[in-house]
Structure 1
Amino acid sequence: MGKLSITKEFTWDMAHMLASYQGLCKNLHGHTYKLQVEVTRNSEQLITDSEANSGMVLDFKDLKKVVKEEIVGPFDHAFVYWTGSSDVVEHQIAELLKEEGRKVVEVDFRPTAEEMAAYFLEVLNAKFEEEGVRVSKVKVWETPTSFAEIREDE
């Protein structure tokens, strides 16, 4: 049998900067991000343990709950800060914001759409491991016309 999937989209606003970038994105700026998460289950393994969820890959509300807890909640209206950045200004901005009680998310990667897509895939697959589903695809839109996509290897 084949694989079945469901997909849900989310949006949030977030600020970042790209250290050492040779262009406007080296400056502190923000985007309205859109995230698309696809989860997959083998068709012969659809949920069967409860009548309410029978025949589902995963209940959409369960997908929404996990993505909001793990990604949207922490990242929404935050300054995402690369702890390994060589940009002194980025470190100073993060420290000032933290001192003032502002929302700062520290990551160990440069906060590009590509790196965030890979990170979100890893985080979400770890959370869904017990559910018997895999996150098979993540898309992160940085603008309405530009996105990065990562697909789980088969």
Structure 2
Amino acid sequence: MRMRSDVVAAERDNPNTAAEPSRAVSKGLVPTIRTIEKTFRFDAGHRSLGFDYTKEETIHGHTWELKLIVECRQKLDDMKTIFDTNELNVITRPIIDSLDHSFIIWTEDPIFDAFVKVCELAGVADKVYPVDFNPTIEGMVEHIFNRVDEQLELDGCTLKRAELRCASTLNACYEVG
């Protein structure tokens, strides 16, 4: 016959049992902010104008990494989750797919019309991603943040921050609040 102390010891030693509340929670302090981060990757070319060095003005590409941080001001539900991250994926994936293997080009770029024409002749006009701003990393992270944010409808949750990396040494962030 198992004694209650044996059951308690077995539960304590089993790493798969529910975690005990932290000391802060047991003192009545409830976490007020939780964040979920989701990462996406895409490959795309671009060129940025107006720099002292012409390197950025040449046509070049990157493997971009986007991190979205969603902030929620609520407790975990019975399933120990804040929201289904697939909802964020459903919103973000079409944006990422339209950017993947595209060329991001400012509609005010002096080569815009000629570039689009060449892409039409080559049958790849659908991979031109025109934007109404200079496609710097700072402009791109703001653009993606706004596109995701305008569609995101999660109770008690908001898109708090987006981080975009285009090289191991270059990262830009866009954050609200």
Q: TM-score range by the shorter chain?
A: 0.7 to 0.9
TM-score normalized with structure 1 length? 0.83
1:131 corresponds to 2:161: no
Question: Displacement of 1:115 after TM fit?
Answer: 0.7
Write the mapping of 1:51-70 to structure 2, written as runs, cut at 5 A.
Answer: 54-69=79-94
Q: List gaps (5 residues or longer) in structure 2.
A: 1-30
Q: List gaps (5 residues or longer) in structure 1.
A: none
Which residue does the alignment assign to 1:7?
37
Q: Which has the larger radius of gyration?
A: 2
TM-score normalized with structure 2 length? 0.73
Write the mapping of 1:28-43 to structure 2, written as runs, cut at 5 A.
Answer: 28-43=59-74
Question: Displacement of 1:2 after TM fit?
Answer: 1.4
SS of corresponding position for 1:24? helix
SS of corresponding position for 2:151? helix
Write the mapping of 1:3-152 to structure 2, written as runs, cut at 5 A.
Answer: 3-21=33-51, 22-44=53-75, 54-69=79-94, 71-85=95-109, 87=110, 89-102=111-124, 103-128=127-152, 130-132=153-155, 133-152=157-176
Q: Which amino acid aligns with 2:38?
A: K
Question: Displacement of 1:29 after TM fit?
Answer: 0.6
- Give the 4+ runs in structure 1 shifted more than 4 A: none
RMSD between aligned residues: 1.8
Q: Which amino acid aligns with 1:141?
A: R
